[in-house]
Structure 1
Amino acid sequence: MSPRPGATRVLVTGATGFLGRNILAALATRPEVTVIAACRAPDRLPAAFSGEVRAGDLRDPGYRRALVDGVDVVCHAGTWGAFWGHAELERRQFFEPNRDLIDQAIDRGVRRFIQTSTVAIAARPVNGGPIDDFAQTRRTGFWPHLDRLIDLDDHMRRHSDRGTQMITMRLGHFVGAGNTLGMVPALVPRLRTRLVPWLAGGRARLALVGGSDLGEAFALAATADGLDDYESFNICGPTLPTAREVIEFIADETDSPRPWFSVPYAAGYAFAWLMEKLQLLPLPDPISGARLRELALPDRPRRPQTRLHPSRGLADRRPRIPRRSRRQRLPLAPPGPAGVSDEGRRSPVGRGPHSLIRSLTGPGQVNCSLPANGR
């Protein structure tokens, strides 16, 4: 496909992954955009994609230098990550290549760089208030991937005055068909070892978001006008099921055993490290943005915020997973605990009309900010 005259040239890295494919699909509906796909295996691109392909490995410095030539916007959805530990690998395989890609984009005059991140980088307010789009970050000291995401966010803030707008997308956990490197495929083989514990009893809440909504959020971030030099947006769904509800649903749908004991968060990461060393759990595979960390979030938001209309409710986004029986009818985004209304948990939080995604009301929408801890 030949580039459209005057079109915005948007590069999507990780274009064959769950997030990348959904970004490609959303951008394909924008006639003002010419899409460039970056990936290691072009044969895995969606059959419908007919645009330019720049094949290579993001760990290759030469590839990173050439990748951003002639590009207006970068949607960076390609990454490497582990669920726990591996600090040196995280530095070499993820942080340093990602930081260099940002610097290459600045040096070559890219107008906007959009970074995939996670809502988990935000510190939890001690007063139980909402987590704003710009909420202060907090390093864990025990999860290197998340800590390096915070380092990247800091780097983007510091260099946002050099002509390239910087946008951090703080995403919830990915759900939906085609997510082969996300929550379901990560959990199921580990659950079947019977060595996976609950973290803190599974009481924490999970921020979920579906693939089509992720794609639409990135497309809006790539094309919106009037953004500041540095922006940050929380992207998650309208309801916040507990980790126990989600994991029990996945276990029952796949005929896998549920966790039978519980450990605190810090002990959970130490336990995972030990099980890996003993080779009793499957090794952590690279992941493309999905975060298994349980996010402890409050039940009630506080102030008006921006929202994005999804194409369908989270309850419709059940993963397509093999199952021999359906013993439980719990939707993937079940109702909240006693005393918390669905309407209360859909209430908006965030930054108001200046935000990337216009303010809307009503059920079945995607929140772009999160409430904080309120167990």
Structure 2
Amino acid sequence: MAILITGATGCLGGGITRQLLAAGVRVIGQGRDLRAGAEMVQQGAEFLPLDLCDPVPLEPVLAGTETVFHCAALSSAWGRARDFQALNVDATRRLLDAARDGGVKRFIFASSPSIYANGSDRLDLTEDAPLPAHFATHYARTKAESEALALSYDQPGAMRVVALRPRSIYGRGDRALMPRLLTAMRRGTLPLISGGAALIDVTHVSDAARAMVLAAAHAQKVGGRVFNITSGESWRFAQLADAAADLFGLTPRRRHLPYGVAMTIATGFEALHHLFRPDIEPVLTRQAVVSLGRSLTLDISAARADLGYRPQVTLSEGIRDYAA
């Protein structure tokens, strides 16, 4: 039986693909990046060049599939509400319907801890921590909606659904955390919101992928639940930046920005871009200010206890691996 991975050309989907191929599993990867898809085929996977927003029947795609890892999403701090709704919610609903009707046994959904962010410091959050009444971005709002939607399809004896919230994935295939940090430092200036004192958890892509695979293995037992995932250690943003700068030989000038000032600047940038450059992400967004200026750390004891999850890559090791 085959395993389908949506968003297989992305960071997390690519990590799952590599782990399953190494275990000798037949993998079908869905994605829109043809170049990355060709590389997947060379590694031994099958590639499906499909846009999940296209109105094509998904039942044939799922024929003979027992497990779906749904990693495809519009993940951005900027964009139109209708685009986030189309891919993160509407496409997820279509995939869930096709999976349920096609006899899929396990549906593992990649959610996001961004749904926890409320503009304040939040530490050691468990999965039942209250979510904000109003989400900071379209991405967070639609991920919360799609997570709830996915879990509503869980049915004992039929299709089990498990959701994971991996925090700040980095490593091979990362197009967000490390590339943005390195770009800022290579320009010569590193903005430190709130002095870079905010605590953040990060997750190496191999740990995040391993957690997804473990969720599938334990789906019959933990179906209907959600799990936080990190690499098990928290760092100050300034510490993370210093570690990356040392490995890449960079010496950026630090620019300290108070949280309130950064949020005012980001709000102004967003207003201007909405009016004059709606398709271009501002250099500073409110999501970035919240993400880098407010602490957010997660409790992963449930994943340890019920999935057997054990982080294996420390941040120092992960950054060295990324640098290589």
Tell whether the structures are fold-level matches, with TM greater than 0.5.
yes
Q: Alpha carbons of 1:113 and 1:135: their partners in 2 closer, same or farther (altered >3 Å)?
A: farther
Work out the CA distance in 1 between the residues paired with 2:302 and 2:229: 16
Native 8 Å contact 1:160 1:229 kept in 2: yes
Using the alignment, how far apart are the partners of 1:187 and 1:205 within structure 2?
Answer: 16
Q: Which residue of 1 is the match for residue 164 of structure 2? A: 169
- 1:270 pairs, out of 262, 267, 271, with 267
Report the residue type matching 1:313 in the other structure. Answer: T
More displaced, 313-322 or 186-195? 186-195
Give CA deviations for 1:167-214 in whole Å, capped at 9, x if unaligned: 1110011122442x1212223445667898544443321111112112
Partner of 1:224: 218
- Kindly tell me: are residues 267 and 118 of structure 1, through their superposed partners in 2, closer, same or farther at Cα, counting changes over 3 Å? farther
Q: Which of 237, 249, 261 does residue 243 from structure 1 map onto? A: 237
Q: CA deviation at 1:224?
A: 2.7
Residue pair 1:197, 1:263 contacting (<8 A) in 2 also: no
Corresponding residue of 2:201: 207
Within the alignment, does 1:17 sit opposite 2:13 as a pair?
A: no
Equivalent position of 1:340 in the other structure: none
| Alpha-carbon distance between aligned partners in 2 of 1:190 and 1:268, rounded to the nearest angstrom | 17
- 1:43 deviates by 4.0
Among candidates 114, 139, 145, match of residue 108 of structure 2: 114
Corresponding position of 1:308: 309
Contact 1:82-1:284 at 8 Å conserved across structures: no
**Residue of structure 2 equivalent to 1:71:** 65
Residue 235 of structure 1 deviates from its aligned partner by 0.9
Question: Cα 1:314–1:109, aligned 2, differ >3 Å: closer, same or farther?
Answer: same
Change (3 A) 1:153 1:94: closer
Displacement of 1:85: 5.5
Deviates more, 1:107-116 or 1:222-231: 222-231
2:83 aligned with 1:82:
no
Evaluate the alpha carbon distance shift between residue 311 and residue 196 of structure 1 in structure 2; reply closer, same or farther with a 3 A threshold.
closer
Q: Which moved more, 1:97-106 or 1:168-177?
A: 97-106
Q: 1:256 to 1:201 in 2, by over 3 A?
A: closer
- Kindly report structure 1 stretches of 4+ aligned residues shifted beyond 6 Å: 126-129, 192-196, 298-304
Number of aligned residues: 307
Query: For the structure 1 residues 224 and 300, does the alpha-carbon distance in structure 2 shift closer, same or farther, using more than 3 Å as the test?
Result: closer
Give the stretch that moved more between structures: 68-77 or 270-279: 270-279
Structure 1 pair 86–195 and aligned structure 2 pair: CA distance change class (3 A)? farther
Partner-residue secondary structure (3-state), 2:221: coil
- Identical residues among aligned pairs (%): 22
The residue type paired with residue 94 of structure 1 is N
Report deviation, 1:112. Answer: 1.5
Corresponding residue for 2:28? 36
Contact map agreement 2:78 2:281 (CA 8 A) in 1 = no
Distance 1:72 1:304 in 2: 23
Give 3-state SS (helix, strand or coil) of 1:15's partner. Answer: coil
Query: Which deviations, in whole Å up to 9, do the C-alpha atoms of 1:144-174 show, x marking residues without a partner?
Result: 1011111112212323238321111100111
- Residues 308 and 148 of structure 1: CA distance in aligned 2, closer, same or farther (over 3 Å): same
Task: Indicate if the aligned counterparts of 1:117 and 1:170 stay in contact, CA closer than 8 A.
Answer: yes
1:329 maps to none
Cα-to-partner distance string for 1:58-105 (whole Å, 9 max, x where unaligned):
221206443323211111122212214632331234332223222222
TM-aligned CA distance change 1:205 to 1:276, over 3 Å: farther
Q: Which amino acid aligns with 1:167?
A: V
**Does the 8 A contact of 1:37 with 1:53 survive in 2?**
yes
Cα distance in 1 between the residues matched to 2:140 and 2:213: 24
* Unaligned residue ranges in structure 1 (runs of 5+): 1-6, 323-375
Distance 1:127 1:21 in 2: 32
Aligned in 2, Cα 1:301/1:71: closer, same or farther, shift over 3 Å?
Answer: closer
What amino acid maps onto 1:293 in structure 2? S
Matched, 1:317 2:312: no
Partners of 1:169 and 1:235 within 8 A in 2: yes
Counterpart of 2:257 in structure 1 is 261
After superposition, the Cα gap between the structure-2 partners of 1:249 and 1:86, relative to the gap in structure 1 and judged at 3 Å, is: farther
- 1:32-181 counterparts in 2 under 5 A? 33-44=25-36, 45-46=39-40, 48-62=42-56, 64-84=58-78, 86-122=80-116, 130-161=124-155, 163-179=158-174, 181=175
Give secondary structure in 1 for the equivalent of 2:85.
Answer: helix
State the SS of the aligned residue for 1:315: helix
Paired letter, 1:283: E
- Structure 2: give runs of 5+ residues left out of the alignment: none
Higher helix share: 2
CA RMSD, 1 decimal: 3.8
TM-score, normalized by length of structure 1?
0.68
Is this contact kept in 1: 2:231–2:313, CA < 8 A? no
Question: Is contact 1:120-1:146 (8 Å) kept?
Answer: yes
Deviations 1:268-318 (A, max 9, x none): 652451464576x97379xxxx9x924624699999953533444321111
